[in-house]
């Protein structure tokens, strides 16, 4: 295994850049040929394609960029201090070539794509003004070490894994204050309550748009594939533009049923543009995703921050609790509430089956899959576990399994 901190040869970087642009262009062209394509979707496709065009991204954003791996860090705090929160998780197969020889063979595709992005000298990630990493899994705990040679300003957030305990809640509020101090130092300014209120208002509007989008998906007015494209585009800088464009799509699709009859709950590893293998296979199998818990979809703006008053402490505490308690990531030690919430949603929406999507090497989702299957089956739900990567080699076999599952849940 090569030293993960060593420089990638320029010739190799050029090849990866070219292949990455081709990957994004090919997926975008494929989507625009779909029968359910709408011009309204261009906003989201154009935003997501900027991942492969870092210079265009910087020209469009015109603000300092904070690269994040996780939604646990409240986006409002970054926005209030002038930073654009940009999520560096991606899924390009071509990009993984850079990192594959620099990581263990069983490293998950997300960590491979992330490291590859930082190793490319002109990527959005390598040009970011700072990087904030939450220790969500063992791979991410080691990630700051992998980035040391990359330089730049890196801040690590220590996640308390017993989030239901009072000690865990207090520890997370401390982490939020440490993050605020770090961002104030890097931005050279103090966070004002006015700016924080403005950011809260922006993201409150985005949360409402997301809720309406998910309700439209539940009514089968918006296909899951387009829904995931829209949610993927949220952490690309322009939250107000995103909110406006989502509302336009909802209005355009109101009352138009366009999804398969069979419905499932989708859980597990993130689905990230341009790799849309899982939602495409579900659609091909005649299955609609009526609900999910993905951190790139329904969970992207989980919960609503509820402050007791307008003091800075109350606002930051509300953001801390919203991001922490509202998160259903299996990285936490106490997962009973997660399973209870999933089953409550499935009962409420009359969903009889759950598909658990696990990216190979994604240990938190993998480990909890056995308990999840047992609990769901004991409560009368159907369960399908899919372990895959971001290549297309297993698509035919996965489609056969999904088609069989579709017949069971109808």
129: nearest Cα among 88, 101, 166: 88
Question: How far is the CA of 254 from the CAs of 34, 232, 279, in angstroms?
Answer: 19, 22, 22
Alpha-carbon span 304 to 226, nearest angstrom = 24
In a domain, 89, yes or no: yes
Q: pTM for the whole thing? A: 0.93
DSSP state of 236: B
> How many CA within 13 A on the CB side of residue 29?
6
Q: How many CB atoms lie within 10 A of CB 23?
A: 18
In a domain, 324, yes or no: no
Q: Which residue has the tokens 């939450």?
A: 134
Mean pLDDT of 193-212: 93
In a domain, 183, yes or no: yes
In this prediction, residue 91 carries a pLDDT of 74
Alpha-carbon span 399 to 405, nearest angstrom = 10
Residue 304 has pLDDT above 70, yes or no: no
Alpha-carbon span 119 to 7, nearest angstrom = 7
In a domain, 107, yes or no: yes
CATH of the domain at 53: 3.40.50.11890
297: nearest Cα among 36, 32, 87, 37: 87
DSSP state of 311: S
Number of domains in the chain: 1
Q: What angle do CA 366, 233, 285 make, to 5 degrees?
A: 55
Query: Which tens digit of pLDDT belongs to each residue from 314-331?
Result: 888 888 888 777 777 887
pLDDT level of residue 310 (50, 70, 90 thresholds): confident
Alpha-carbon span 268 to 259, nearest angstrom = 22
In a domain, 151, yes or no: yes
In this prediction, residue 90 carries a pLDDT of 73
Q: Which residue has the tokens 């990359």?
A: 150
In a domain, 275, yes or no: no
Range of the domain at 119: 10-195
pLDDT level of residue 237 (50, 70, 90 thresholds): confident
- Both tokens assigned to 53: 């065009």
Q: What mean pLDDT value characterizes the chain?
A: 89
Residue 1 has pLDDT above 50, yes or no: no
Query: Which tens digit of pLDDT belongs to each residue from 41-99?
Result: 999 999 999 998 998 998 888 899 999 998 888 999 999 999 999 998 777 777 777 78
- Check: CB of residue 131 under 8 Å from CB of residue 147: yes
In a domain, 245, yes or no: no
In a domain, 410, yes or no: no
């Amino acid at each position: 295994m090569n030293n993960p901190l060593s420089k990638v040869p320029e010739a190799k970087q050029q090849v990866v850049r070219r292949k990455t642009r081709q990957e994004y262009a090919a997926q975008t062209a494929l989507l625009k040929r779909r029968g359910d394509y709408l011009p309204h979707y261009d906003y989201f496709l154009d935003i997501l394609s900027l991942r492969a065009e870092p210079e265009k991204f910087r020209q469009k954003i015109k603000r300092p960029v904070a690269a994040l791996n996780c939604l646990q860090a409240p986006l409002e705090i970054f926005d209030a201090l002038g930073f654009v929160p940009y999520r560096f998780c991606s899924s390009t197969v071509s990009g993984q070539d850079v990192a594959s020889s620099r990581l263990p063979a069983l490293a998950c595709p997300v960590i491979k794509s992330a490291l590859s992005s930082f190793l490319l000298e002109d990527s959005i990630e390598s040009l970011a003004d700072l990087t904030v990493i939450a220790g969500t899994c063992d791979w991410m705990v080691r990630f700051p070490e992998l980035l040391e040679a990359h330089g730049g300003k890196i801040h690590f957030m220590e996640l308390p894994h017993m989030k239901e305990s009072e000690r865990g809640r207090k520890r997370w509020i401390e982490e939020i204050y440490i993050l605020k101090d770090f961002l104030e130092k890097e931005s050279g300014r103090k966070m004002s309550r006015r700016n924080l209120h403005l950011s809260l208002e922006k993201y409150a509007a985005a949360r409402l748009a997301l809720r309406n989008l998910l309700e439209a998906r539940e009514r089968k007015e918006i296909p899951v594939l387009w829904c995931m494209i829209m949610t993927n585009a949220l952490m690309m800088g322009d939250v107000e533009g995103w909110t406006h464009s989502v509302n336009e799509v909802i209005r355009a699709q109101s009352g138009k049923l366009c999804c398969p009859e069979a419905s499932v709950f989708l859980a597990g590893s993130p689905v990230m543009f341009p790799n849309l293998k899982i939602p495409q296979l579900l659609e091909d199998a005649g299955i609609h995703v009526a609900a999910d818990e993905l951190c790139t979809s329904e969970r992207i703006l989980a919960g609503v921050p509820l402050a007791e008053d307008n003091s800075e402490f109350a606002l930051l505490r509300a953001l801390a609790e919203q991001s922490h308690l509202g998160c259903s990531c299996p990285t936490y030690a106490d997962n009973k509430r997660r399973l209870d919430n999933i089953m409550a949603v499935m009962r409420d929406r009359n969903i009889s089956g759950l598909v658990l999507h696990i990216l190979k090497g994604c240990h938190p989702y993998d480990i909890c899959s056995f308990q999840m299957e047992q609990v769901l089956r004991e409560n009368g739900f159907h369960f399908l576990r899919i372990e895959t990567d971001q290549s297309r080699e297993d698509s035919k076999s996965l489609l056969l399994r999904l088609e069989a599952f579709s017949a069971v849940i109808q």
